[in-house]
């Protein structure tokens, strides 16, 4: 077991279990091949299977609300990063540790595997600011950032407000959830602008259809130009509440449209792409 932010003492009770034995409350949920459940002590586990050994184990403290949403978001990104690891059954365990979430990520590996290199890959993922920001947005922020254990009580910085996108043709209130850059084998990357519209359920698609080209041309393209980023495709998505990328939640309304940005003498614009 290794821990990110290794300088300083671990908080009391902060230890990675060698196994997840399933001392759980009633109501274990299996969904899309994954298991999530609440522990008797209030922690949450998201896993491929239970019980499960923790052959690979990395511990971090994340300034986010502990719970199933945080466990699910971290598991999703860990699975993407390590799915080439043969025999890997991911496990994420999240518990409260004062004002932060104690996260143990890893799982069971039923094959030969390069321990040092794999632990380093997972530690880098758990320390990546972009991933941490997404987990905090999805789970609910408690403090600021990913904390080394020696600094847990020292952070007093205010949480920045969400970025509001105003002026869409529909009149809906929109908040930027995240921007994802997806490198491609050839050419420029695809860039996703994922927005949340809490009142999306009060309208039908026809009432928000015009928002998508507006968002691409008035919001996404200026942001790309400001950041010096070139995109082969711009994907604009809108959801009634935050959803981890790549997951489908039946009760959440989600729409998206794909555009190809083009530069013309009259200015940059977005061409709708048939998906």
For the chain, the average pLDDT equals 80
pLDDT range class, residue 163, cuts 50, 70, 90: confident
Please check whether residue 16 is in contact with residue 107, taking contact to mean a CB–CB distance below 8 angstroms. Answer: no
Question: Structural domains in the chain?
Answer: 2-151 (no CATH), 164-273 (3.10.310)
Residue 26 reports pLDDT greater than 60: no
Q: Where in the chain does DSSP place strands (E)?
A: 2-3, 19-20, 29-31, 34-38, 44-47, 52-53, 56-64, 88-97, 100-109, 141-147, 164-165, 174-182, 190-196, 233-239, 254-264, 267-273
Give the number of other CB atoms < 10 A from CB of residue 258. Answer: 19
DSSP annotation of 152 reads T
pLDDT at residue 140, rounded to an integer = 64
Q: How confident is the model at residue 88 (pLDDT cuts 50, 70, 90)?
A: very high
Q: In the structure, what pLDDT confidence band is assigned to residue 161 with cuts at 50, 70 and 90?
A: low
> What's the CA dihedral at 122, 61, 69, 65 to 10 degrees?
-160
Nearest-CA neighbor of 4 among 145, 153, 138? 145
Is the entire prediction scored with pTM above 0.85? no
Q: In the prediction, which pLDDT does 10 show?
A: 35
Q: What percent of the chain has pLDDT over 90?
A: 37
- Please say if the pLDDT value at position 192 is more than 90: yes
pLDDT per position as a tens digit, 246-258:
787 888 999 999 9
């Amino acid at each position: 077991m290794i821990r990110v932010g290794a300088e300083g003492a671990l908080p009391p009770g902060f230890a990675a279990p060698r196994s997840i034995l399933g001392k759980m409350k009633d109501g274990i949920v299996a969904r899309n091949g994954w298991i999530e459940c609440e522990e008797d002590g209030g922690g949450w586990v998201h896993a491929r299977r239970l019980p499960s050994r923790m052959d690979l184990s990395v511990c971090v403290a994340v300034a986010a609300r502990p719970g199933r949403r945080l466990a699910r978001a971290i598991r999703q990104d860990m699975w993407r990063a390590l799915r080439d690891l043969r025999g890997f059954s991911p496990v994420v365990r999240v518990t409260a540790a004062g004002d932060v979430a104690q996260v143990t990520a890893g799982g069971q590996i039923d094959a030969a595997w390069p321990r040092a290199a794999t632990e380093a890959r997972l530690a880098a993922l758990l320390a990546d600011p972009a991933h941490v920001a997404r987990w905090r947005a999805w789970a609910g922020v408690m403090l600021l950032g990913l904390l080394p254990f020696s600094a847990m009580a020292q952070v007093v910085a205010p949480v920045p407000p969400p970025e509001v996108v105003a002026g869409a043709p529909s009149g809906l209130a929109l908040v930027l959830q995240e921007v994802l850059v997806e490198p491609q084998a050839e050419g420029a990357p695809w860039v996703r602008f994922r927005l949340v519209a809490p009142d999306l359920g009060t309208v039908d698609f026809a009432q928000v259809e015009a928002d998508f080209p507006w968002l691409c041309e008035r919001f996404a393209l200026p942001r790309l130009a400001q950041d010096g980023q070139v995109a082969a495709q711009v994907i604009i998505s809108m959801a009634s509440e935050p959803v981890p990328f790549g997951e489908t939640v039946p009760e959440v309304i989600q729409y998206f449209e794909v555009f190809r940005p083009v530069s013309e003498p009259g200015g940059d614009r977005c061409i709708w792409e048939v998906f």
